[in-house]
Structure 1
């Protein structure tokens, strides 16, 4: 599986991530699936061209399909920040993979945003990366400013 031609950005991310000052969801997804963690400050130490390259990596649920994200990130961090990403053990069964239950955090974000609760049928029909995004946006109890725009972009609310 090859790199995308352009960085993978959702419409709701364009304002905050178009210049890649902030980590787009595609990069966050790949960090999480490989069990890597970098801070925003470390991300911003990378040259823009490197951030663009990292945002072009596929967002497939199978890390074996694209094993070079982690290698690229390590090389970039060593070269430009003289650091290495932190390792952590990824959750083998994250909530976004479960198509039989909408995660509590997502339901909470719907309540906070005064949206109807997302039903299981709509949740199950979402592609895995979109389920990941909603779950990531819903990880804190307070409202996330990108949650409603993401729900709208994914066709889950009017």
Structure 2
């Protein structure tokens, strides 16, 4: 089972867009797959790419091999992902720093709360805290994860 975030809406029904869980695995594999390329894969292949594990280096290597096989079958180009983030980029302390930069020290959850999240949840926060993105989905995710804000322990406004 892979993590389905409520903020992604019905993306998981048709898998016509790349869910955050699959994006994390693509980042770990260091491969870029366009939206058109994702949509050229069969639904069964997209579902497999969501469900395949990426917990160890061996898992990631298998994931990349399976992805390459699916892409070859569909005639889809894959490219190396320049500047691909690594797991350390969404470690609890790194996500905390990114959230503090984005939300200010009183708006970010405390490091203890971030440390209790799964890797998929921290990855989603890492991606949605990107300053080039609007704040709506980040706020929705903070609310979905039930993360208190800063030292005051306030629940995120939602």
Alignment partner for residue 109 of structure 2, among 96, 101, 118?
A: 118
Gap change, CA 1:51 and 1:79, over 3 Å in 2: same
Q: Give 1:131's aligned residue.
A: 122
TM superposition shift of 1:40: 1.0
Gap change, CA 1:138 and 1:51, over 3 Å in 2: same
Aligned residues: 147
- What SS does the corresponding residue of 2:96 show, helix, strand or coil? coil
Gap change, CA 1:76 and 1:93, over 3 Å in 2: closer
- What SS does the corresponding residue of 2:136 show, helix, strand or coil? coil
**Greater percentage in helix:** 2
Checking the alignment, whether the CA contact within 8 Å between 2:92 and 2:111 is kept in structure 1 is no
Q: Give 1:29's aligned residue.
A: 24
1:53-93 Cα shifts (integer Å, max 9, x gaps): 11111252x2324532111111111111x233111364456
Gaps of 5+ in 1: none
Distance (whole Å) between structure 2 residues aligned to residue 20 and residue 143 of structure 1: 23
TM superposition shift of 1:103: 3.0
Checking the alignment, whether the CA contact within 8 Å between 1:109 and 1:141 is kept in structure 2 is no
1:92-150 Cα shifts (integer Å, max 9, x gaps): 5643125376132x235436xxx822222222222222111100112233424321221
Alignment partner for residue 67 of structure 2, among 73, 77, 86?
A: 73
Distance (whole Å) between structure 2 residues aligned to residue 142 and residue 67 of structure 1: 30
Q: Give 2:97's aligned residue.
A: 103
- What SS does the corresponding residue of 2:47 show, helix, strand or coil? helix
Gaps of 5+ in 2: 148-154
Does residue 16 (structure 1) correspond to residue 29 (structure 2)? The answer is: no
Distance (whole Å) between structure 1 residues aligned to residue 7 and residue 86 of structure 2: 28
- TM-score computed with the length of structure 2 as normaliser: 0.77
- What SS does the corresponding residue of 2:10 show, helix, strand or coil? helix
TM superposition shift of 1:36: 0.6
